[in-house]
Amino acid sequence: MGSTSDLRSGLVIMHNNELCTVLESTHRTPGKGRASYQVKLRKLRDGKFMEHRFRSGEEIEIIRLENKTMQFLYREGENLVVMDTETYEQTSLPEAVVGDAAGFLKESGEVSLSFFENEVVQIVLPPHVNLMVSQTEPGVRGDTASSATKPATLESGTTITVPLFINEGDVVRVDTRTGEYLDRVKN
């Protein structure tokens, strides 16, 4: 158990019998009445966002998740197959648990899984990943009047917006939190 003063970004709490990640916490002190904490939460089960106001000093249940690094092997329909690198045990995860992070998984890449009571509740990716552009239309020289970007499909199947100078076969760095192009990786 903890107090509302412990609320920080990234903390996992139990709220209304649901595991939630704290995204943002703001302490508010009105002119009249008690102080409170306005908190933005994301449910781990379905990824939905919500806001809640906690009274200052209110007790909250802080959850400790067990983290384990595993290797992503392949997609199998609506499931993703990962392998424990110590025991070589393979586990199939529904894509719903993984959420938007599934678009940035690279075969044979490492991922960190968070477990609660032996159930995977969250996948943690590094802040950015390097992925190869598998398909994009060629950029035409001087074609920057309207927009200097174009769509590109990555090796993972995700489509992002990249600058015109990016070609098929280039390796790009992508922010896994926003899905935005960061830069081209030099070989």
For the chain, which residues make up each domain, given as ranges? Answer: 2-62, 66-124, 128-184
Q: Which pLDDT value is given to residue 174?
A: 92
| Topology agreement, domain 2-62 and domain 128-184 | no
Instruction: Answer yes or no: is pLDDT of 151 > 60.
Output: yes
CA atoms of 76 and 2, how far apart (whole Å): 41
pTM for this entry: 0.69
- Identify the band that residue 8 occupies on the pLDDT scale cut at 50, 70 and 90: confident
CA atoms of 98 and 172, how far apart (whole Å): 22
Residue type, 69: T
Instruction: Answer yes or no: is pLDDT of 146 > 70.
Output: no
Q: Which pLDDT value is given to residue 172?
A: 93
Q: Which pLDDT value is given to residue 61?
A: 92
Q: Which pLDDT value is given to residue 80?
A: 87
CATH hierarchy code of domain 2-62: 2.30.30.30
Whether 114 contacts 97, CB under 8 Å: no
Instruction: Answer yes or no: is pLDDT of 6 > 60.
Output: yes
For residue 102, CA distances in Å to 20, 41, 135, 142 come to 20, 21, 19, 35
Q: Which pLDDT value is given to residue 115?
A: 87
Q: Which pLDDT value is given to residue 79?
A: 86
Q: Which pLDDT value is given to residue 38?
A: 92
Q: Which pLDDT value is given to residue 120?
A: 83
Region 54-73: what's the mean pLDDT?
90
Question: What single string gives the DSSP state of each residue in 76-120?
Answer: ETTEEEEEETTT--EEEEEHHHHGGGGGG--TT-EEEEEEETTEE
Burial class (CB in 10 A: 0-12, 13-18, 19+), 111: buried
CA atoms of 65 and 73, how far apart (whole Å): 23
Residue type, 39: V
pLDDT tens readout for residues 174-184: 988 888 999 98
Instruction: Answer yes or no: is pLDDT of 54 > 60.
Output: yes
- Identify the band that residue 147 occupies on the pLDDT scale cut at 50, 70 and 90: low
Percentage of the chain lying above the pLDDT 90 cut = 19
Region 140-167: what's the mean pLDDT?
80
Q: Which pLDDT value is given to residue 137?
A: 87
CATH architecture of the domain with residue range 66-124: Beta Barrel (2.40)
128-184 has CATH 3.40.50.980 classification: no
Question: What single string gives the DSSP state of each residue in 25-66?
Answer: EEEE--SSS--EEEEEEEETTT--EEEEEEETT-EEEE-PPE
Higher pLDDT, 140 or 117: 117
Instruction: Answer yes or no: is pLDDT of 143 > 60.
Output: no
